[in-house]
Amino acid sequence: MKVKKKSNLKEAEVEAAGAARAFKSVLLGPDEGSKEITMRRFRILPGGNTPLHRHEWDHLILVERGGGVVFSESDGKFKVEPGDSVFLPAGEEHQLLNPFAEELEFICVVPSRGA
């Protein structure tokens, strides 16, 4: 078993083209011995967003704090709030946006190859 204290998290700005005011931390992943999955935390400041992008893997999202908008190429835009869960299938172009005044925070679980 591994326990990683919040005080030991390292947060970095998302530097992908098209990202704005978005930050990522790896909560648990390969550094803690997880060979298959990685759990990450994202924070998007008001007016910020992740880049519009797609992956070759599924991922799961749980909104923890604030509100936001999830865009997917097949389903359009949906408002999300704390407690909402999102499944994004492999290959789906998507983006998370924060058009609101409060910071958006969500957990994202992906295969470790996608971390």
**Residue 115 predicted with pLDDT over 70:** no
The residue among 113 and 115 whose pLDDT is bigger is 113
Q: Is 83 left (phi over 0), alpha (psi -120 to 50) or beta?
A: left
The confidence score (pLDDT) of residue 53 equals 95
Q: What residue ranges in 1-115 does DSSP mark as E strands?
A: 11-13, 20-28, 37-49, 59-65, 68-72, 76-80, 85-88, 94-97, 104-111
For tokens 């011995």, what's the residue?
33
For tokens 């998370």, what's the residue?
96
- Picking from 75, 19, 82, the residue whose alpha carbon sits closest to that of residue 47 is 19
Q: How confident is the model at residue 113 (pLDDT cuts 50, 70, 90)?
A: confident
Q: Which fold has domain 11-64+81-114?
A: Jelly Rolls (2.60.120)
Q: Sign of the CA dihedral 69, 70, 72, 74?
A: negative
Q: What is the pTM of this model?
A: 0.94
The confidence score (pLDDT) of residue 44 equals 98
The confidence score (pLDDT) of residue 65 equals 98
- Do residues 108 and 40 lie in contact, with contact meaning Cβ atoms separated by under 8 Å? yes
- Do residues 40 and 105 lie in contact, with contact meaning Cβ atoms separated by under 8 Å? no
Give the tokens for residue 104: 């958006």
pLDDT in tens, 6-51: 999 999 999 999 999 999 999 999 999 999 999 999 999 999 999 9
pLDDT in tens, 59-111: 999 999 999 999 999 999 999 999 999 999 999 999 999 999 999 999 999 99
